Amino acid sequence: MAGLIGRKLGMTQLYEDNGTVIPVTIIEAGPCVVVQRKSVEKDGYESVQLGLVPKKKVKVTKPMMGHFKKAGVQPTKVLKEFRVEKESPLKAGDKLTVEIFKDVKFVDVTGTSKGKGFQGVIKRHGFAGGRASHGSMFHRAPGSIGQAAFPSRVFPGKKLPGRMGGDTVTVRRMKVVKIVPEKNLLLVKGSVPGSRGGYIYIKASKVRGK
């Protein structure tokens, strides 16, 4: 078991037999090819480098073209490493599809959250702000941020305005609701980071539930 590279297509909902509504995210997972197999002897650790099979021709540099040619696979736009056990039979040129998750109940999904630009403390950190009444003079400002004479500095990690979003976020133990192998679709319960069309990385979850 390694993992897969996929694209977030959007969200919808499914119904159980008892009428319960399940919100699901549709992920186009794979197919992926093994571009490189790394080993403890040569690289210091065991992993496979996967590439998402492109739907159209991808432009690559000459060094990267040599990298793909060595593996005997067509160039891919997205590459991602997944750790594997030393006994894993995966090798360069192998193909992985969404069917590797057919016996998996929960997965970990990693993506890049939506970028929201430069934001203030109310939106970024959930500050309450001041009263909205006339003459308050204190509405959405952060307020005092430090001490005066001692220690005369602001401590690291202080919640202040700044860039919000655009971070690598992992949602652990997402339930696999349905797999559609003929369309390379993976449906998981809940929402995953990022916007529609964003690349995400999926692997079987090792987190134990209650």
pLDDT in tens, 7-52: 999 999 999 888 899 999 999 997 999 999 988 888 899 999 999 8
Is pLDDT at 171 greater than 70 in this prediction?
Answer: yes
Phi and psi at 116, nearest 5°, equal: -115, 10
Q: Which domains does the chain have, with CATH numbers?
A: 4-116+168-204 (2.40.30.10), 119-164 (no CATH)
Q: What's the CA gap between 123 and 126, in Å, rounded?
A: 6
Query: Average pLDDT for residues 134-150, to the nearest whole number?
Result: 87
Q: What is the pTM of this model?
A: 0.82
Contact 46, 111 (CB under 8 A): no
